[in-house]
C-alpha cells in the first residue's frame, strides 16, 4: 500500500472545502464525501487542477452536488476556484432558516477569493422565497447580491408573497371589547 495515500486523501478533502460555502453553516463542520468514476489530480503541486469526472456526487451535511465534471483549481496551495459542469450540474441544500434551495445550470463556478458563484447556461434557482432563471447569474455569497441578465437574454424572476400575518382575535359574539 502506498504510504502517501492517507496524506493524499486528506489533501483531497481539503481541496473540496470551498464547496462548503454553498451549504448550511453547520454543514461546513460535516465530513465531505466525493464520488466520481475517475479523478486526475496531482496533490503535491501547489498550483494546478484536479479533475473529477463521471457522475460526480459531492455531499456534506445537507449539501448535495451532482455534476458530470468537477474541476478544482489551486494557486499557491490555496483553492482558487471550483467549476462544475453537466447537463445540468445541480446543487441542493437546506438554508440556515430551514428552507430548501435548489439550483441547476450547465456550468457552476465558485470563485473563492471573490466569494462569488456564477451560474451559466439555462440556470434556475428555486427557494420558497421565489425563483430566478436565465442564462447567467452572479451571486455574492457574502453580501447576498445577485446580478442576472445583461447579455441580451431574458431573465425570469418570481417573488413569492410574504405569508400574511394572522388576523387579530375577534371578541366572541354578544361581548363587547372594553377600551
Q: What is the rounded average pLDDT for all residues in the chain?
A: 77
Q: Could you read off the pLDDT of 65-106 as tens digits, one per residue?
A: 899 999 988 888 877 888 999 989 998 888 878 888 899 999
How many residues can be counted in the chain? 179
β-bridge partners, 100: 94
Q: How far apart are CA 47 and CA 56, in angstroms?
A: 22
Structural domains of the chain, with CATH: 5-114 (2.60.450.10)
Which comes out higher in pLDDT, residue 57 or 145? 57
Q: How many CA atoms lie within 13 A of 37 on its CB side?
A: 7
Q: Cell triple for residue 99?
A: 428552507
Q: pTM (2 decimals)?
A: 0.71
Handedness of CA 29, 106, 133, 151 (dihedral sign): positive
Q: Could you read off the pLDDT of 115-159 as tens digits, one per residue?
A: 888 999 999 988 888 888 999 999 887 777 888 887 778 888 888
Q: Cell triple for residue 154?
A: 431574458
Please determine, for residue 178, whether its predicted confidence score (pLDDT) is greater than 60: no
β-bridge partners, 132: 125, 157
Per DSSP (E only), the strands in 61-168 are 63-75, 78-94, 100-111, 116-127, 130-140, 146-148, 156-159
Q: How far apart are CA 96 and CA 27, in angstroms?
A: 10
Q: Cell triple for residue 112?
A: 473563492
* DSSP 8-state symbol, 10: H
Amino acid at each position: 500500500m502506498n504510504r502517501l495515500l492517507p496524506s493524499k486523501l486528506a489533501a483531497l478533502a481539503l481541496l473540496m472545502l470551498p464547496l462548503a460555502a454553498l451549504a448550511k453553516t453547520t454543514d461546513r463542520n460535516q465530513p465531505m464525501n466525493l464520488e466520481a468514476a475517475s479523478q486526475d489530480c496531482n496533490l503535491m503541486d501547489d498550483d494546478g487542477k484536479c479533475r473529477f469526472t463521471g457522475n460526480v456526487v459531492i455531499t456534506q451535511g445537507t449539501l448535495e452536488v451532482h455534476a458530470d465534471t468537477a474541476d478544482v483549481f489551486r494557486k499557491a496551495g490555496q483553492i482558487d476556484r471550483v467549476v462544475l459542469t453537466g447537463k445540468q450540474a445541480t446543487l441542493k441544500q437546506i438554508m440556515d432558516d430551514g428552507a430548501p434551495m435548489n439550483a441547476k445550470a450547465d456550468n457552476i463556478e465558485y470563485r473563492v477569493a471573490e466569494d462569488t458563484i456564477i451560474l451559466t447556461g439555462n440556470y434556475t434557482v428555486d427557494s420558497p422565497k421565489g425563483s430566478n432563471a436565465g442564462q447567467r447569474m452572479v451571486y455574492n455569497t457574502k453580501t447576498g447580491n445577485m446580478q442576472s441578465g445583461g447579455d441580451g437574454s431574458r431573465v425570469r424572476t418570481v417573488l413569492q408573497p410574504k405569508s400574511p400575518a394572522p388576523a387579530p382575535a375577534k371578541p366572541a359574539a354578544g361581548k363587547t371589547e372594553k377600551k
